[in-house]
Amino acid sequence: MLLVEANRDIFQPLASGRRYAEIGVYRGAYTRGVKACQPSHMFLIDPWRPADISALVPSDYVGDPVAPLLETFTPYYPSGLERALEVAYQEVCAEFGADKNCNIMRATSAQACDKFAQGSIDVLYIDGNHRYDFALADLERWSSKVAVSGQIILNDCYVSPIGKRQHISVLEAVSTFIKLTDWRPVALVNRPFTDVVLTREANLKSASTIMKKLFLMRAASFIELPSALIHAVAHKVLRVEAPDKSFLREYLSFGE
Ligand SMILES: C[S@@+](CC[C@H](N)C(=O)[O-])C[C@H]1O[C@@H](n2cnc3c(N)ncnc32)[C@H](O)[C@@H]1O
């Protein structure tokens, strides 16, 4: 597993000339960078409608389930989430809708999944509902849709106080998923809201070589770590407040 000092966009060229699907698009900020890499096709999947609050809070959550979410979200969406998502949908349609190689699917991940054949996607970006059971269900239901040589990228694979308030458990879902399947982490970025790239175990070596080429092209520093450390590494990333080259020393002394 390669830990790279870079922003998440370093993985976008993986979609170049390939079939790309994004679950959870919002205003298309990530999609824009992917499009610049010229994928052969893009599928943009998002209901652009707010989920019921019960879909965001774990059923076994102790305490007031709603207040921490509102505290986090309200400043972002002063005129309300429903309005913000509708505006985001209109923006995405205006920016990507005319592209014949782009399908905008206004649907939840679960609703859209059945429309895809096995192996019909090369790069899947998962950034929808971040609660544990939803993130794990996304991995389980979509992984067979990804071609044998394909990759899954997950956003927000991290642990932090802000993540806890939002019930973000993508990293925990990834940990479960890699224990149960032949999918393995091949690379991650050393940023808060970490992106992690998964590949099937049989392709680990070739995927690792591709990653190193991407990193070289951007002159990005990286180190290699046992993939079993994924949880600990992504947690520790957040302790590096101003990432610079010194983060390498911190990781190399991991385990103190
Ligand atoms: C963090 S935003 C996505 C940001 C975008 N990927 C980017 O990087 O710019 C999360 C989006 O996930 C969508 N979402 C929430 N639940 C979803 C679900 N079950 N299926 C698909 N999308 C979902 C929300 O509507 C929201 O637009």
pLDDT tens-digit series, residues 3-33: 998 999 999 999 999 999 999 999 999 999 9
Pick the CATH number of 2-252 from 3.90.950.10, 3.40.50.300, 3.30.70.1450, 3.40.50.150: 3.40.50.150
Position 236 scores a pLDDT of 52
* Residue 57 near residue 167 (C-beta atoms within 8 A): yes
* Residue 23 near residue 126 (C-beta atoms within 8 A): yes
1 has pLDDT over 90: yes
d(CA 134, CA 201): 24
70 Cβ partners below 8 Å, 6+ apart? none
Q: Which atom of ligand 1 is nearest to the CA of 24?
A: 12
SS3 call for 47: coil
239 has pLDDT over 50: no
Residue 108's closest CA among 23, 188, 177, 171? Answer: 23
Residue 28 Cα to ligand 1 middle (Å): 10
pLDDT, tens digit, 9 for 90 and up, residues 103-161:
999 999 999 999 999 999 999 999 999 999 999 999 999 999 999 999 999 999 987 77
* 81-96 helix and 29-36 helix, angle to the nearest 10 degrees: 10
Position 233 scores a pLDDT of 67
* Residue 26 near residue 88 (C-beta atoms within 8 A): yes
CB burial of 1-10 (b: ≥16 within 10 Å; e: otherwise) equals bbbbbbbbbb
Mutate to test the pocket of ligand 1, among 30, 127, 134, 136 (most ligand atoms within 8 A of CB): 127
115 Cβ partners below 8 Å, 6+ apart? 105
Q: Which residues line ligand 1 (CB under 6 A)?
A: 23-26, 29-30, 45-48, 51, 85, 108-109, 127-129
Position 234 scores a pLDDT of 61
Position 103 scores a pLDDT of 98
Residue with the smallest CA separation from ligand 1 atom 17 is 128
Residue with the smallest CA separation from ligand 1 atom 16 is 129
Residue 76 Cα to ligand 1 middle (Å): 14
Per-residue tokens: 240: 């590096």
Residue 31 Cα to ligand 1 middle (Å): 12
Report the 10 Å Cβ neighbour count for 215: 18
253 has pLDDT over 60: no
